[in-house]
């Protein structure tokens, strides 16, 4: 046992680093799952953002109950109703081929069968840039439809001895079609792609931070029409705010979370 029990700084820094969500473009995406288990949360989609359900005191749940009581036959179509849904978050190693924009560094993936001629972020031409595997740790956050497929693959993808290989031991190709709420993802195992992925603990993200967490009064503000960005700015500037810094999410992260969590 060491003389002094020191904190693991790399683990600390990893916990507080900015989240990077995987961009699942409408094409093929190759990933390797890195975590033994996903982090599971319950969320509501409110005014363009997914937020974590806070349980018994959740204003969204309270509003849902009111709408159900008033409109038992069609409450799902009433404005303001937001069902509680399961969300799963896991670290993945994104192996998808990309073109890295020479101007802004944006990771450009194919749009269908082809790459766009220009970077969608800054407009720089990328036609002459060679593609290469991204090979980067990202956060994958989706609903039960995709993760139910992962459950099936875990049991059905077998080695030569007819034993489950384990999701962390082979690549998975995610075939993505559609966009927005019409996005469909089909997970296909690649049992011959079994190369070892070298990832250190400091490269992983804290998956408990991947879902936007608001306090009760902040959720009420959101329901009243206050923008997420304004809520977070007010939280950060408040001298009396006792929340740990890990719950402070930048506006860029909010946008990334919305884009990533929007599809089931």
pLDDT at 249: 46
Q: What CA–CA distance (Å, rounded) separates 158 from 178?
A: 31
Please give the pLDDT value at position 16: 61
pLDDT of residue 261: 41
Of 133, 153, 184, the residue at which a domain comes to its end is 133
The pLDDT of residue 260 is above 80: no
CA 173 to CA 142: how far, in whole Å? Answer: 15
Rounded Cα distance between 237 and 218, Å, is 14
Cα gap 137→22, rounded to integer Å? 9
| CA distance linking residue 131 with residue 254, whole number of Å | 29
Are 103 and 224 part of one and the same domain? no
For residue 4, being part of any structural domain is answered with: no
Degrees, nearest 5: CA angle 181-46-27: 25
**Do 87 and 209 share a structural domain?**
yes
Question: Would you place residue 259 in the very low, low, confident or very high pLDDT band (cuts 50, 70, 90)?
Answer: very low
Task: Assess whether 257 and 143 both reside in one domain.
Answer: yes
Q: Are residues 21 and 52 in the same domain?
A: yes
CA–CA gap between residue 58 and residue 214 (Å, rounded): 10
Q: 105: helix, coil or strand?
A: coil
As a whole number of angstroms, the distance between CA 250 and CA 16 comes to 12
Q: Which residues pair with 133 in a beta bridge?
A: 97
User: 3 lies in a domain?
Assistant: no
Residue 2 lies in a domain: no
Token output for 207:
């998956």
Contact (CB, 8 A) for 187 and 149:
yes
Whether residue 109 sits in one domain with residue 152: no
Please state, in angstroms and rounded to a whole number, the distance separating the CA atoms of residues 254 and 182. 21
Q: Which of the two residues, 167 and 3, has the higher pLDDT score?
A: 167
User: Please, which pLDDT band fits residue 263 given cuts at 50, 70 and 90?
Assistant: very low
Identify whether the C-beta of residue 245 lies closer than 8 Å to the C-beta of residue 16. yes
Based on the domain organization, do 127 and 155 belong to the same domain? no
Structural domain span for residue 150: 9-96+134-261
User: Looking at the domain assignment, is residue 206 inside a domain?
Assistant: yes
Give the per-residue pLDDT at 251. Answer: 44
Query: pLDDT, tens digit, for every residue of 150-209?
Result: 999 999 999 999 999 999 999 999 999 988 778 899 999 999 999 999 999 999 999 999
- The token pair at 163 is 């034993």
Query: What mean pLDDT comes out for the span 245-260?
Result: 46
Cα distance between the two ends of the chain: 47
Where on the phi/psi map is residue 143: left (φ > 0), alpha (ψ -120 to 50), or beta? beta
Q: 256 or 67: which carries more pLDDT confidence?
A: 67
pLDDT for 246: 41
Q: Tell me whether residue 222 is in a domain.
A: yes
Evaluate if residue 35 carries a pLDDT over 60. Answer: yes
CA dist 261 and 175 (Å) reads 17
Shared domain for 152 and 37, answered yes or no, is: yes
Per-residue model confidence (pLDDT) at position 7: 56
pLDDT score of 255: 54
Length of the chain: 264
What value does the mean pLDDT take over residues 27-41? 95
Distance, CA of 150 to CA of 188 (rounded, Å)? 9
Average pLDDT estimate for 222-242: 81
User: Is residue 13 pLDDT above 90, yes or no?
Assistant: no
Co-location of 143 and 220 in the same domain? yes
Greater confidence (133 vs 16) lies with 133
How high does pLDDT run on average in the chain?
87
Selection from 75, 52, 5 nearest residue 218 by Cα: 52
Pair (111, 212) in one structural domain: no
Q: Are 107 and 67 in contact (CB under 8 A)?
A: no
| H/E stretch holding 177 | strand 171-177
* Digit-coded pLDDT (tens) for 44-75: 999 888 899 999 999 999 999 999 999 999 99
Whether residue 1 is contained in a domain is answered as no
Same domain for 112 and 89: no
Number of domains in the chain: 2
Statement to judge: residues 192 and 249 lie in one domain: yes
């Amino acid at each position: 046992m060491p003389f002094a029990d020191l904190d693991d700084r790399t683990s600390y820094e990893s916990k507080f680093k900015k989240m990077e969500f995987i961009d699942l473009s409408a094409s093929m995406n190759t990933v390797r799952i890195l975590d033994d288990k996903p982090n599971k949360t319950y969320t509501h989609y409110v005014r363009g953002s997914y937020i974590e359900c806070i349980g018994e005191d959740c204003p969204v749940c309270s509003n849902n109950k009111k709408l159900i009581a008033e409109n038992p036959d069609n409450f799902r179509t009433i404005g303001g109703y937001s069902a509680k849904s399961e969300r799963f978050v896991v670290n993945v190693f994104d192996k998808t081929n990309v073109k890295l924009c020479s101007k802004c560094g944006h990771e450009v993936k194919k749009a269908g069968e082809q790459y766009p001629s220009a970077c969608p972020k800054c407009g720089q031409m990328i036609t002459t840039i060679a593609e290469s595997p991204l090979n980067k740790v990202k956060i994958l956050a989706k609903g039960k439809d995709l993760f139910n497929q992962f459950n099936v693959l875990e049991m059905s993808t077998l080695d030569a001895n007819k034993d489950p290989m384990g999701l962390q031991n082979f690549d998975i190709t995610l075939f993505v079609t559609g966009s927005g709420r019409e996005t469909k993802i089909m997970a296909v195992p690649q049992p011959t792609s079994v190369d070892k992925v070298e990832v250190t603990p400091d490269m992983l993200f804290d998956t408990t931070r991947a879902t936007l967490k608001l306090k009760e009064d902040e959720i009420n503000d959101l329901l009243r029409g206050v923008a997420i960005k304004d809520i977070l700015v007010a939280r950060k500037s408040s001298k009396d705010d006792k929340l740990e810094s890990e719950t402070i999410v930048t506006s860029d992260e909010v946008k990334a979370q919305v884009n990533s969590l929007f599809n089931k």
